[in-house]
Amino acid sequence: MNSLFSGKYTWLHSINPSLKLLTLLSLFVLAINIHYLSFMVGFSCVILTLFIFGTGYSYKQLLLLSLPFLFVFLSTSSSMILFGKGETILFKWAYVQISEESLIRGIHLGFRALSFAMLGLIFALTTKPVMLFYSLMQQLKLPPKFAYSFMAAIRLIPIMIEEYQIIMNAQRVRGIEQKNHFLKRMQRLAIPLLSQSIRRAYRIAVSMEAKRFQSNRKRTYYYEVGFSRNDLLFLCYFLVLLGLAYLLSTHYPFLPNTDVRYLSDLRD
Amino acid sequence: MQKGLKLTDILVTIVISIAFGILYKIWGPLYYAVKPFGLHIDQLIYGMWFMAATVAFLIIRKPGVALLAEIAASSGEFLMGSEFGLEVLLYGLIQGLFAEFILFAFRYKRFDLFVISLAALSSCTGSLIMDFYKGYIGDLSTWNLTLLIVFRMIGSILFTGFFAVSIAKALEATGVTNLVRSSSKKDHEALDQ
């Protein structure tokens, strides 16, 4: 969330949140249909560029935020590299079998996970949740009772985290063993946290209805969310650069240009 | 009687789910920490991600709650900047839909461990389908894929089935569920006397 660090206000912040969300979702669909490593790497580079230069955060902050990416990359690719199917065996030891195909496929998966992680962070870093839900109500006609419930719930996050710490401390003061059975410990935390949250949510809903909150009438909005020239720029950025990446990767593939899937049926 | 979900139902569902969203966010790094061993130990805790749906359904007991809960939990996780990024939204949607489908098949009338575990397995199937497309898990060697599927199913039944039911039971004991459940037939009979 934006409260994590504060960054500069950039053109990415001014993009219509609904449009941003839909664009990123279509990029997701596009990405799971990329089966050639060269284009996947190109795709990741296009997103990386936007992530580094577009989000308005300092390099130090971005580096800190990207630390989990390393984990994401390694963990996503490792099991495919070590245990994937393939014919050109490079290394074999007990159950571990690294083949050329599985290596390429693993790296492909790593890049894919990496680009999803970056897309997600680009959105989370440059979008105010309140604006997202106002925009969803205005552009995508999300019923207000859902949108306002989301906004109320997001407001409760800091309170819930505070309460989590209070519960932990209270249990520690009373000498409840921490190294207890895992599920028991989870339950002891979850029950008070959930029951308090339910009570609070119920109170909020009752007071909203007492103040005549209605979903079906035509509403006016405190924030009007519209479109600007930056939205066009945003769409063009992806259209042009991804098109370029596609052309480059098909004409000058710098990496093995084979389908990364294991197409045993199509071979022979 | 108003049909569908009331504001109270929606708000309570979303707040529960966001609480789970926080949990998922805390969970994520742990999941990645055990994952690189490649032997899919991580899959045993994967079931955690389907929990919001069944817990919310067990508390509110209305159609549509499971789907809404799963969507809300994933958007909560997404907006907090999940390591998994964008994919959590679509996974949430699919997992919620699959759980909802089982609950619908039993006409939202059964709240026992068996049906809840079936819903858990259904969510699990949904996530596996997504993984076939996104993660090429079909290209893992057979023993490894079997291990992954079996571990994930065990995890889903454990967390989304057993653990969710026990949480719901404990919450019933605290009395908060009476706030949100619609009045039962017994309550009406009590009024008639």
Same domain, A163 and A244: no
- Whether the per-residue pLDDT at B159 is higher than 80: the answer is yes
pLDDT of residue A265: 44
Taking an 8 Å cut-off on Cβ atoms, the answer to whether B139 and A124 are in contact is no
Same domain, A246 and A115: yes
* Percent of residues, chain A, with pLDDT higher than 70: 92
Residue A198, domain member (yes or no): yes
Number of domains in chain A: 2
pLDDT of residue A257: 67
pLDDT of residue A1: 44
Q: Indicate the residue of B15, B32, B139 with minimum beta-carbon distance to A153.
A: B15
Same domain, A71 and A161: no
Cα angle at B27 between B150 and B45, to 5 degrees? 15
pLDDT of residue A266: 43
| Segments forming the whole domain that contains residue A180 | 144-210
Q: Which of residues 182-241 of A touch B (CB under 8 A)?
A: 183, 186-187, 190-191, 193-195, 197-202, 204-206, 208-209, 213, 215
Q: Indicate the residue of B18, B38, B88 with minimum beta-carbon distance to A153.
A: B18
What tens digit of pLDDT does each residue of B45-102 get?
A: 888 888 999 999 999 999 999 999 999 999 988 888 777 777 888 899 999 999 999 9
pLDDT of residue B193: 63
- Determine contact, residues A12/A54, Cβ cutoff 8 Å: yes
Q: Min CA distance, A97 vs chain B (Å)? A: 9
* Percent of residues, chain B, with pLDDT higher than 70: 87
Mean pLDDT over each residue of chain A, to the nearest integer: 85
Q: Which residues of B touch A215 (CB under 8 A)?
A: 7
Same domain, A90 and A114: yes
Mean pLDDT calculated for residue range B153-181: 90
Q: Min CA distance, B88 vs chain A (Å)? A: 9
- Whether the per-residue pLDDT at A18 is higher than 60: the answer is yes
Q: Which residues of B touch A25 (CB under 8 A)?
A: 86, 89-90
- Whether the per-residue pLDDT at A103 is higher than 70: the answer is yes
Same domain, A38 and A121: yes
Residue A76, domain member (yes or no): yes
Q: Indicate the residue of A75, A113, A197 with minimum beta-carbon distance to B15.
A: A197
Q: Min CA distance, B20 vs chain A (Å)? A: 9
- Determine contact, residues B27/B46, Cβ cutoff 8 Å: no
- Whether the per-residue pLDDT at A46 is higher than 90: the answer is yes
Residue A7, domain member (yes or no): no
CA–CA separation, B120 vs B131, rounded Å?
17
Same domain, A200 and A148: yes
Residue A45, domain member (yes or no): yes
- Whether the per-residue pLDDT at A267 is higher than 50: the answer is no
Cα angle at B134 between B132 and B138, to 5 degrees? 30
Distances (CA, A) of A122 to A2, A46, A116, B114: 11, 12, 10, 41
Taking an 8 Å cut-off on Cβ atoms, the answer to whether B136 and A261 are in contact is yes
pLDDT of residue A175: 82
Q: Min CA distance, B38 vs chain A (Å)? A: 4
Same domain, A107 and A201: no
Mean pLDDT calculated for residue range B15-34: 77
Taking an 8 Å cut-off on Cβ atoms, the answer to whether B89 and A202 are in contact is no
Q: Which of residues 79-98 of A touch B (CB under 8 A)?
A: 79-80, 82-85, 95, 97
- Whether the per-residue pLDDT at A264 is higher than 60: the answer is no
Q: Indicate the residue of B32, B35, B144 with minimum beta-carbon distance to A83.
A: B144
Is pLDDT larger for residue A7 or for residue A107? A107
Same domain, A50 and A157: no
Taking an 8 Å cut-off on Cβ atoms, the answer to whether B36 and A78 are in contact is yes
What tens digit of pLDDT does each residue of A197-247 get?
A: 999 999 999 999 999 888 777 888 999 999 999 999 999 999 999 999 999
pLDDT of residue A2: 45
pLDDT of residue B1: 38
What tens digit of pLDDT does each residue of A149-203 get?
A: 999 999 998 999 899 899 889 988 988 766 667 667 777 888 998 999 999 999 9
pLDDT of residue B185: 59
Confidence class for position A6, pLDDT limits 50, 70, 90:
low
Hey, is A75 helix, strand or coil?
helix
Residue A154, domain member (yes or no): yes
Q: Indicate the residue of B19, B81, B163 with minimum beta-carbon distance to A124.
A: B81
Q: Which residues of B touch A84 (CB under 8 A)?
A: 136, 139-141
What tens digit of pLDDT does each residue of A51-90 get?
A: 988 888 888 888 888 887 887 788 778 878 888 887 777 7
SS (H, E, C) chain B: CCCCCCHHHHHHHHHHHHHHHHHHHHHHHHHHHHHHHCCCHHHHHHHHHHHHHHHHHHHHCCCCHHHHHHHHHHHHHHHCCCCCCCHHHHHHHHHHHHHHHHHHHCCCCCCCHHHHHHHHHHHHHHHHHHHHHHCCHHHECHHHHHHHHHHHHHHHHHHHHHHHHHHHHHHHHHCCHHHHCCCCHHHHHHHHC
Is pLDDT larger for residue B8 or for residue B138? B8
Taking an 8 Å cut-off on Cβ atoms, the answer to whether B11 and A202 are in contact is yes
Confidence class for position B186, pLDDT limits 50, 70, 90:
low
Mean pLDDT calculated for residue range A32-47: 90
- Whether the per-residue pLDDT at B2 is higher than 70: the answer is no
pLDDT of residue B88: 87
Taking an 8 Å cut-off on Cβ atoms, the answer to whether B84 and A82 are in contact is no
pLDDT of residue B150: 93
